[in-house]
Chain A
Amino acid sequence: MTFSPALEQRFEKMLKAYPEGKTRSAVVPMLIYAQDETGAVTEELIQEVAKRCGVSRLQVDEVVGYYSMLHRKPQGKYHVQICTNISCMLVGGTELYEHCSKKLGIGHKQTEPTGLFSLEEVECMGACSWAPTVTVNYDYYHNVTPEMLDQLLEDIRKANR
Chain B
Amino acid sequence: MTPTIGKLYNEPHPDETRVLTWRFGKPNSWKIDTYLADGGYQTIMKALQMTQEQIIEEVKTSGLRGRGGAGFPTGLKWSFVPRSSPKPKYIVCNADESEPGTCKDRLLIEFDPHQLIEGLMIAGHAMGSQHAYVYIRGEYRFLIEHLNGAIDEAYAAGVLGENIRGTGFTFHVHTHSGAGAYECGEETALLDSLEGKRGVPRMKPPFPAVAGAWACPTLLNNVETFSAVVPIIRDGGAKFLSYGVPKSGGTRLLCVSGHVNKPGVYEVPLGMDTMTFINGIAGGVKGGKLKAVVPGGSSCPILTADECQNLPMDYDSVAKIGSMMGSGGMVVMNEHTDMVAVALRIIKFYQHESCGWCIPCREGTTWLKKSLQRYADGGGSEADIDIIHELAKNMLGRTFCALGDAAAMPTISLVTKFRSEFIEYLKKPRAVHQHELVGIH
* B residues near A62, Cβ cutoff 8 Å: 198
A-facing residues in B61-107 (Cβ within 8 Å): 88, 97-103, 105-106
A18 neighbours in B (Cβ, 8 Å): 174
Q: A24-B196, A138-B142, A142-B3 are in contact. Are A89 and B341 (CB under 8 A)?
A: yes
CB nearest neighbor in A for B9: A130
Chain B 1-39: CB-based contact to A (< 8 A → 1; otherwise 0): 111000001100000000000000000000000000000
User: In the complex, what distance in Å separates the CA atom of A127 from the CA atom of B98?
Assistant: 10
A141 at the interface (CB under 8 A from B): yes
Q: Indicate if A104 sits at the interface (CB-CB under 8 A).
A: no
B 324-363 to A, binary, CB cutoff 8 A, 1 in contact else 0: 0000010101000100011001100100110100000000
**With a CB–CB cut-off of 8 A, which chain A residues contact B105?**
126
CB-based contact B177/A32 at 8 Å: yes
Interface residues of B (CB under 8 A from A): 1-3, 9-10, 88, 97-103, 105-106, 131, 133, 137-142, 172, 174, 176-182, 193-199, 214, 255-259, 263-265, 294, 298, 329, 331, 333, 337, 341-342, 345-346, 349, 352-353, 355, 437-441
- Measured CA separation A26–B197 after assembly (Å): 10
Instruction: List chain A residues, Cβ under 8 A from B341.
Output: 89
Q: Using C-beta atoms within 8 Å of the partner chain, give the interface range for chain A.
A: 35 or more
The total number of A-B Cβ pairs within 8 Å is 173
Q: For the complex, give the distance between the alpha carbons of A129 and B193 in Å.
A: 28
In the complex the two chains form, is A17's CB within 8 Å of B174's CB?
Answer: yes
Question: Cβ of B97: which chain A residues have Cβ within 8 Å of it?
Answer: 126
Considering the chains assembled together, what is the distance between the CA atoms of A98 and B435 in angstroms?
Answer: 12
The minimal Cβ–Cβ distance linking B99 to chain A, given in whole angstroms, is 7
Q: A28-B179, A86-B346, A87-B101 are in contact. Are A125 and B139 (CB under 8 A)?
A: yes
Give Cα A56 to B137, complex, Å: 25
Could you list 19 A-B pairs, sorted by A, with CB under 8 Å? A18-B174, A26-B196, A63-B198, A68-B180, A69-B138, A86-B294, A86-B298, A86-B331, A87-B329, A89-B439, A90-B257, A90-B259, A90-B333, A92-B441, A94-B437, A126-B103, A140-B2, A141-B3, A148-B1
Residue in A26, A27, A67, A87 whose beta carbon sits within 8 Å of that of B258 in the complex:
A87
A22→B215 CA distance, assembly (Å): 11
Among residues of B, the one whose C-beta sits closest to the C-beta of A91 is: B258
Given contacts A25-B196, A148-B1, whether A128 and B101 have CB atoms under 8 Å apart is yes
Taken together as a complex, chains A and B put the C-alpha atoms of A27 and B193 apart, in Å, by 9
Measured between beta carbons, the chain B residues less than 8 angstroms from A141 are: 1-3
Whether A129 pairs with B264 at a CB distance below 8 angstroms is yes
A25–B294 CA distance with the chains assembled, in angstroms: 36
Which one of B88, B265, B346, B439 contacts A19 once the chains associate, using CB atoms below 8 Å? Answer: B88
B259: chain A residues at CB < 8 Å are 90-91
Measured between alpha carbons, how far is A123 from B138 in the docked complex, in Å? 13
B199 CB contacts on chain A under 8 angstroms = 66-67
Contact of A124 among B99, B197, B263 (CB under 8 A): B99
Contact A140/B438 with A86-B100, A131-B263 known, Cβ cut-off 8 Å? no
Of all chain B residues, the one with the shortest Cβ separation from A65 is B198
Give bound CA distance, A66 to B172, whole Å.
29
A152 to B2, CA, bound (A): 10
Take A19-B214, A68-B181, A86-B294 as given contacts and tell me if A128 and B196 are in contact as well, using a CB distance cutoff of 8 Å.
no
Inter-chain contacts of A148 with B (CB < 8 A):
1
Q: Is A139 an interface residue (CB 8 A)?
A: yes
A27 to B142, Cβ gap below 8 A? Answer: no
A55 at interface (Cβ–Cβ under 8 A)? Answer: yes
